[in-house]
Amino acid sequence: MKLTHGAVLLAAAAVASPLVLGLGIVFLVAVAAEDENRNDVDFTLSSGRLRVGQDHVPAQYAGLIEKAAADCDAGLPAGILAAQIKAESNWDPTAQSYEYRKDPDTGGTVRIPLAKGIAQFIDGTWASSGIDGNKDGRKDVWDPEDAIPSQGKMMCALLKTAKKHPDYNGSPIELALAGYNAGWGRVQQYKGVPPKSFAAGQTHNYVNAIMADVARLTAPDTSGDPELSGGWGRPVKAALGTPYHQSGSMWSSGYHTGIDFTVPPGTAIHTIGPGKVVAAGSGGSYGNQVVIRHPDGMFSQYAHMTQIKVSKGQSVQGGQIIGLSGATGNVTGPHLHMEVRTGPDYGTDVSPLPYLRRKGIGI
């Protein structure tokens, strides 16, 4: 929904600035006029990370978001920052949230300014985390050139902290989002993303909404071969084994970051859909692995292969054989481990089955 003049009542799950949960209902007031400069033609940036245009990422913010993500050395996807901003302010740099409290002296209701700007920082968080992103000598919460780099820096720090807690419930990206929304103390309290019972589900819904919106705002890499056609399907015809997010000490993260298929060594592994190979080789505890970027900006990873049949940079059709199953890396027996990710690297995993089912893959 594109905001216009006037006030829109939103739950904190839809517009919640850092560390403001538990303070009550807030109002987001969008005081700016419709953006006449918004680009209505979809196109992709040279980096191929964000989808720019109407109903996607406004062109004037795409570069700022991608740079903020690139400045983080912890593997922070640009699509996560974009989806955050969409959830926080709907791209409005003048967005203002208020808290409404009862005045103990008069009994009346008073309106107190709360979160500000495109990234919805409250004053205390801005004082500690805001930076002068455009180097003009001042840090201005209302200036996207300061607010977006500040958001990226804060998310990067949270992501690094999250990766130190593999025993917590949720991927590092999900934990960082929860920390941004409710404060890291709440993540520590619940040892993961706070449950639906916390703050009427505001943080829980905030994390889920952002993770679900990443694919829509992320564009394919168009810098190489043209996008290929091809169907979507199972990587192997086999029963499911270990499910997503099962806890266990054998995984370095403390939980299972993908899904397993029980197949014997040498079983042909097919890519679930068309895309471009971004990694093909040794993946540490994953053994021999292949990672593929798909046209919607999401990634699939295939691990523990005994043989790899594609190379980095190669474009693949949906259903193409990319390798043979095996038992390389950290395993107790042969199987295919597969992940769906918002980025190419470890720590960006999402639940694979909902994604696969949206592609028409019946599992």
CB-CB contact of 65 with 50 (8 Å): yes
Window from 33-37, 275-279, 299-303 with minimum mean pLDDT: 33-37
pLDDT in tens, 213-256: 887 887 654 444 434 445 788 999 988 988 988 887 676 667 88
Q: How many CB atoms are closer than 10 A to CB 285? A: 17
* pLDDT of the residue at 48: 37
% of the chain with per-residue pLDDT over 70: 82
pLDDT in tens, 302-325: 999 999 999 999 998 888 999 999
* pLDDT of the residue at 33: 29
* pLDDT of the residue at 270: 94
- Average pLDDT rounded to a whole number, residues 296-300: 85
What is the pLDDT of the chain when averaged over all its residues?
81
Question: How far apart, in whole angstroms, are the C-alpha atoms of residue 162 and residue 172?
Answer: 5
% of the chain with per-residue pLDDT over 90: 47
* pLDDT of the residue at 40: 28
pLDDT in tens, 255-291: 888 999 999 999 999 999 988 999 999 998 899 999 9
- Average pLDDT rounded to a whole number, residues 188-202: 94
Question: How far apart, in whole angstroms, are the C-alpha atoms of residue 135 and residue 120?
Answer: 21
* pLDDT of the residue at 222: 44
* pLDDT of the residue at 38: 27
Confidence check: pLDDT of 118 > 50:
yes
- Average pLDDT rounded to a whole number, residues 119-148: 94
* pLDDT of the residue at 231: 76
